[in-house]
Amino acid sequence: MAKRIRLEKRIVSESDRLAAGLARRFAEARVLVVNLMSSPGAGKTTLLEETARRMSGDLRMAVIEGDLATDRDARRILKAGIPCHQINTGGGCHLSARQVADALRQFDLGQLDVLFIENVGNLVCPAEFDLGERRRVVVASTPEGDDKPIKYPVAFHKADCVVLNKIDLLAATDFSPEAFRQFVRGLKPSVPILELSCRTGEGMEGWLTWVRTERQAAARGTPRGCD
């Protein structure tokens, strides 16, 4: 006789399990791990270069770079003065928890305050894969258009901080900062929106303050779900 077995259990993938393990390691080491995502060309690497130049004197930082091909970004980060490990995903459209776990062999977490993971430039897939990070940052930029948040709602809804880069180019575009803020707030009212230009340095102080504050919370061992 047929029997129905009621379960209502969430499917837990291997990737979820690995990410939970990474999150525990990061919490034990009290290191702030930030997963940085954006479309290609929004300025993730430039943001990290500028962050390295301005903060490497106060904080011990490192970067894991994710790209389909080349080590161009890793070379830029190394030139900016902080350790970096490049992952080439080949055809992979996002970084996986497995790749991050492998990359961690290059670093001593106990000797780091902040680890940035620069995900593959893509606003779709990276949003679906937890890497054990403490915070998620989405970088948008003015030439991409102000409607990115509502076109890629999951990435923005899951973000702990939204950086709007290239505000120095505002006059050359039809981008409306007001519309952008409204779209983001509609998806996540409480998320900080930091408007800046990595090129001119305008607004960078707000970003550095966010990193410092988050780093202090991580160092205190505050659980990752709490502010």
Please identify, using beta-carbon distances, which residue of 130 and 144 lies nearer to another protein: 130
Residue placing its CB nearer to another protein in the complex, 84 or 131: 131
Cα angle value 129/32/71 (rounded, 5°): 65
Cα dihedral angle (131, 132, 138, 144), rounded to 10 degrees?
A: 0
CB 174 → another protein: shortest distance, Å?
21
| Contact residues for another protein, defined by CB under 8 A | 1-15, 93, 124-125, 127-128, 150, 153-154, 157, 185-187, 189-190
Count of Cβ atoms closer than 10 Å to residue 2 Cβ: 3
Containing H/E element for 177? helix 177-187
| Of residues 15 and 173, the one with the C-beta less far from another protein | 15
Strand, helix or coil at 74?
helix
Tokens of 173: 């575009």
Min dist CB 16 to another protein, Å, is 8
- Of 54 and 157, which has the nearer Cβ to another protein? 157
84-93: long-range pairs with CB below 8 Å, 24+: 89/120, 92/68, 92/120, 93/120, 93/122, 93/124, 93/125, 93/126
Smallest distance, another protein to C-beta of residue 80, A: 32
Tell me whether residue 83 or residue 126 sits nearer to another protein (CB atom). 126
**Helices 44-55, 72-79: crossing angle, 10 deg rounding:** 20
**Least distance from another protein to the Cβ atom of residue 165, Å:** 24
Nearest approach in angstroms of CB 225 to another protein is 11
